[in-house]
Amino acid sequence: LFASVFSRGRVALEVSDAAWLKAMLDAEAALARALARANLVTAEAARAITAAARPDRFDTTELGRASGATGTPVPALVQALIRAVPEGAAGAVHLGATSQDVLDTAMMLVAKRSVPVITDDLRATAETCALLADRHRGTVMIGRTLLMQAMPITFGLKAAGWLTALDRARFRLSEVFRTGLPVQLGGAAGTLAPLGEHGGDVLRFLAEELGLVEPTLPWHTLRLPVIELGTALAGASAVLGKIARDVSLLAQTEVAEVRESGAGDEGGSSTMPHKKNAAGAVAILGCTRRVPGLLANLLAAAEQEHERSAGAWHAEWETVSDLLRLVGSAAQWARELVGGLEVDALRMRRNLDASEGFWLSEHVTTLLTPALGRLEAHERVRDAAFRARASGGSLLDALFDEPRSAAALSRAGLDRDKALALDPLSYLGSTQTWIDRALAAHRKAGAE
């Protein structure tokens, strides 16, 4: 019922029951080929198993029903696979492996196939942010701290911040994709006893067959690969949530500095025809808000007993699927959201101008400091701000209306006329530098 919200984009397919089944069968087939390369089974057997390991021959519902007996669907799958191959190949099926070998390897395959979908969305979102950062490098707006108007920034700087964080999150996920997803193969207690001295070879071949990493040793109860996958996803989620929060706040009716575009009814309300919600931002937050607890579960599940765990491992499967699905959905939403973001530069400027120059307070404090000392300067400006707010006037007027401040400002070369010309554009500090650095870092990240 909520598919377009939480199972959005291609990732949902990659974590479906069908995808898990395919991954388990791929693991079994690759194992057979790895065993053949190590001369432990015949090439014919490996070919037969590979040929038989086609998802359409198996029934996820029935496997689901069978999963209760042993806690996993693997024994039932192995039995079905044995029945699906010629008798001569039966002995080669699942040889030396334990259920967890297949399920863990499948989990890593599911991740291997899902993560690029996510990083692709992150990259596309970052590209758009880079464009926004450059295009809006001079689009001045009021920066906000603790939800209050503070000082001028530009929208380009905001986009540059998003960009930097997206690139970092993508880097982490790409790193996991490249070096963090190992095959699992250890057999019943991690020794691969039935394979005699060939365990190391079969492990290497299996990793090669599947394009996964070869671990130092079986990691049945050493779950850092799962944790690092989860934390990389959580990092991406954190960034997407931050962007969505910014957009939802900037899109508030009273702020109205950005707007999500969208075809047709996107974001419409069932009862209030006039409403145009920030549907993408809301959906992203609906996804990202579910990530912290899921990751906590994954972390708590890392305390696994002995050579194979009694329950903690089981807690990982749906959790990993959920994390991939939710972060993937959020990334897909973010790509659409940022891709269609309408930036209202005029409104940004209007909101800034409406602030009656309060944003200048830091600046004039600096100007007053040589004459008044630091602490008094701060106090004078604060008092002027309170007077201005009470009377509805501007900060500068309040300062010039007060003789001691007026004199000090004059001494700093600022009189009432000049003050009128004070332009937020002249008070942006390192804004352009930060944008340039973010764009340069992004180009470098892309080149890698």
* In the complex, minimum distance from the CB of residue 439 to a second copy, in angstroms, rounded to a whole number: 10
Q: Between residues 418 and 444, which has the closer beta carbon with respect to a second copy?
A: 444
Q: What backbone phi and psi angles, to 5 degrees, belong to 377? A: -55, -45
Question: 338 Cβ partners below 8 Å, 6+ apart?
Answer: 125, 128, 129, 132, 162, 243
Q: Between residues 253 and 447, which has the closer beta carbon with respect to a second copy?
A: 253
Catalytic residue, chosen from 269, 430, 437, 443, is 269
Per the CB < 8 A criterion, the answer to whether 9 and 117 are in contact is yes
Token pair belonging to 412: 């700093």
Which among 32-40, 42-50, 68-76, 109-117 is the span making contact with a second copy, rule CB under 8 A? 68-76
E-strand stretches of 31-107: none
Per the CB < 8 A criterion, the answer to whether 70 and 103 are in contact is no
Of the candidate residues 29, 109, 124, 284, the single one contacting a second copy (CB under 8 A): 284
Of the candidate residues 161, 335, 343, 396, the single one contacting a second copy (CB under 8 A): 161
Catalytic residue, chosen from 10, 47, 289, 308, is 308
* In the complex, minimum distance from the CB of residue 416 to a second copy, in angstroms, rounded to a whole number: 18
Of the candidate residues 86, 346, 430, 443, the single one contacting a second copy (CB under 8 A): 430
Which among 39-47, 113-121, 250-258, 404-412 is the span making contact with a second copy, rule CB under 8 A? 250-258
* In the complex, minimum distance from the CB of residue 106 to a second copy, in angstroms, rounded to a whole number: 10
Q: Between residues 146 and 403, which has the closer beta carbon with respect to a second copy?
A: 146
- Cα distance between residue 49 and residue 94, in whole Å: 10
Per the CB < 8 A criterion, the answer to whether 72 and 21 are in contact is no
* Of 323, 326, 325, 297, residue with least CA distance to 312: 297
Of the candidate residues 47, 116, 340, 369, the single one contacting a second copy (CB under 8 A): 369
Per the CB < 8 A criterion, the answer to whether 275 and 331 are in contact is no
- DSSP-derived 3-state class of residue 342: strand
- Cα distance between residue 144 and residue 129, in whole Å: 20
Of the candidate residues 302, 371, 407, 422, the single one contacting a second copy (CB under 8 A): 302
Of the candidate residues 123, 136, 172, 335, the single one contacting a second copy (CB under 8 A): 172
- The 72-111 contact track toward a second copy, x by CB under 8 A, reads xxxx--xx--x----x--xx-xx--xxx------------
| Span 4-33, contacts to a second copy by CB under 8 A | 4-8, 17, 20-21
Of the candidate residues 52, 63, 212, 331, the single one contacting a second copy (CB under 8 A): 63
| Span 378-397, contacts to a second copy by CB under 8 A | 378-379, 381-382, 385, 388-389, 395
Q: Which residue shows structure tokens 């300062």?
A: 399
Q: How many CA atoms lie within 13 A of 158 on its CB side?
A: 25
Of the candidate residues 10, 42, 55, 60, the single one contacting a second copy (CB under 8 A): 60
* Of 199, 432, 443, 221, residue with least CA distance to 314: 221
Q: Which residue shows structure tokens 């699942």?
A: 94
Q: Between residues 187 and 328, which has the closer beta carbon with respect to a second copy?
A: 187
The letter for the amino acid at 1 is L
* Catalytic residue status for 308: yes
Per the CB < 8 A criterion, the answer to whether 141 and 155 are in contact is yes
* Catalytic residue status for 10: no
* In the complex, minimum distance from the CB of residue 27 to a second copy, in angstroms, rounded to a whole number: 14
